[in-house]
Structure 1
Amino acid sequence: MDHSNTPNTYKLPESYGETKIVLVARDPNCLFAYWEISGIETRRFIDELGIEFWQKSSPALKVKNLSNGSNFIIVINDYANNWYIHVDNINSFYEVEYGRKISERFFIPIVSSNYVLTPSNSVSSSASCYFMDYRNFSKSGLEKESRYIYEMLDMESYYKNIGISSMEFAFNSKFEQCFGISSLELFGKE
């Protein structure tokens, strides 16, 4: 019997050989980024720009507030693979680029992250709740006839489990706030 993949002996790899950066909004004023820069990407940088640029530059994160067009750079070290980033603007879209800072004015990006929206730091002024009919939910998503959302203005309605938290419908212009499904009821638990 092969025990090499049992929970007690399996070890996660230190790297996956990918060039990737992922950004997550931890709270209204803090983002978290983690990344991996492959050796191939490092060699490509050196081949295209020269070893001098690599040696004279510093690894850095360029934090871009896409909502107001501002940005700032955080100089990091060569050993870091994640970073907590303090931001001042709530309800703003952010993106982070990992790259090399050549001088005070020059930054060369290597990889860009996904976009994230920092949440609000206060209670919502909207008392609306949105409910979705998920009885026709399948592996491919909601059936066409079930893709409508019920708006319930009464917070103390007979619906006790909101069950809505995904960004699936976030860009539907009909609703100010639209969410997908995450209720335990989907999994047969009531």
Structure 2
Amino acid sequence: MDYTNSPNTYKLSENYGETKIVLTSRDPHCLFAYWEISGLEIRHFIEELGIELWQKSSPALKVKNLSRNSSFIIVINDYATNWYIQVDDINCIYEVEYGRKISDKIFIPMVSSNYVQTPSNMVSSSTSCYFMDYRNFSKSGYENESKLIYEMLDLESYYKNIGISSMEFAFNSKFEQCFGISSLELFGKE
């Protein structure tokens, strides 16, 4: 298919033939889930449990608070592919299952989501603040000073996995905002 003459006519697929559910945390009291249930998964359910059970059941989300070992069920409709989920507990780990609710006591899961943690709803109690005098850097002192930054912020273990060196840390523009240092200032060209 040639899209060079009509780039605005291309449409994304509404589904991809996968059975998958993804969960994200929007804020301390709200989760967001989106999913796709493949036709193959629906046929498998019907073959195993029968068309009558499929027709009498309702699609539902089972929201599991793994931190507090509790859960609740939200009945949804057959056309929904995403849902905002209100939760009461902050700073907890959640998982969501998509499935069919057969009765008040019976829920048959079809797919499980990833785990997410809701954030806290308070400002952090950490008041740590780190300052450094970048004007006293010498060219030979860059590595020692950046090593000091690693030790103060305990970043060495975090960045060890991605292979960032202390020189890259000292001159990486992503970190300049954290310390208020520009590379020109480091080189004495204010």
> TM-score higher than 0.5 here?
yes
Could you give the per-residue CA deviations for residues 99-135 of structure 1, whole angstroms, max 9, x where no partner exists? 00000000000000000000011101112474636xx
Secondary structure, aligned partner of 1:22? strand
- After superposition, where does 1:1-190 map in structure 2 within 5 Å? 2-3=2-3, 7-128=7-128, 130=153, 132=155, 141-142=162-163, 161-162=177-178
Secondary structure, aligned partner of 2:21? strand
Secondary structure, aligned partner of 1:162? helix
Secondary structure, aligned partner of 1:105? coil
Secondary structure, aligned partner of 1:13? coil
Question: What's the CA shift for 1:61?
Answer: 0.1
What amino acid does structure 2 have at the position aligned with 1:19? T
Over aligned residues, Cα RMSD in angstroms? 2.9
Could you give the per-residue CA deviations for residues 143-179 of structure 1, whole angstroms, max 9, x where no partner exists? 5x76xxxxxxxxxxxx76239xxxxxxxxxxxxxxxx
- Deviation larger for 5-14 or 110-119: 5-14
Secondary structure, aligned partner of 1:8? helix
Structure 1 residues 26 and 42, CA gap change in structure 2 (3 angstroms)? same
Secondary structure, aligned partner of 1:40? helix
| Distance in 2, Cα, partners of 1:4 & 1:108 | 47
| Distance in 1, Cα, partners of 2:46 & 2:5 | 38
Secondary structure, aligned partner of 2:94? strand
| Distance in 2, Cα, partners of 1:120 & 1:5 | 50
| Distance in 1, Cα, partners of 2:96 & 2:5 | 35
Question: What's the CA shift for 1:75?
Answer: 0.2
Unaligned segments of structure 1, at least 5 residues: 147-158, 164-184, 186-190
TM-score, normalised with respect to structure 1: 0.70
- Deviation larger for 124-133 or 35-44: 124-133
| Distance in 2, Cα, partners of 1:15 & 1:160 | 42
Q: Contact conserved, 1:4 with 1:10, CA < 8 A, in 2? A: no
Alignment length, in residue pairs? 148
What amino acid does structure 2 have at the position aligned with 1:15? N
| Distance in 1, Cα, partners of 2:154 & 2:100 | 46
Q: Which protein shows a greater Rg? A: 2
Unaligned segments of structure 2, at least 5 residues: 130-152, 167-174, 184-190
Structure 1 residues 42 and 161, CA gap change in structure 2 (3 angstroms)? same
> As a proportion of its length, which structure holds more helix?
2
What amino acid does structure 2 have at the position aligned with 1:98? Y
TM-score, normalised with respect to structure 2: 0.70
> As a proportion of its length, which structure holds more strand?
1
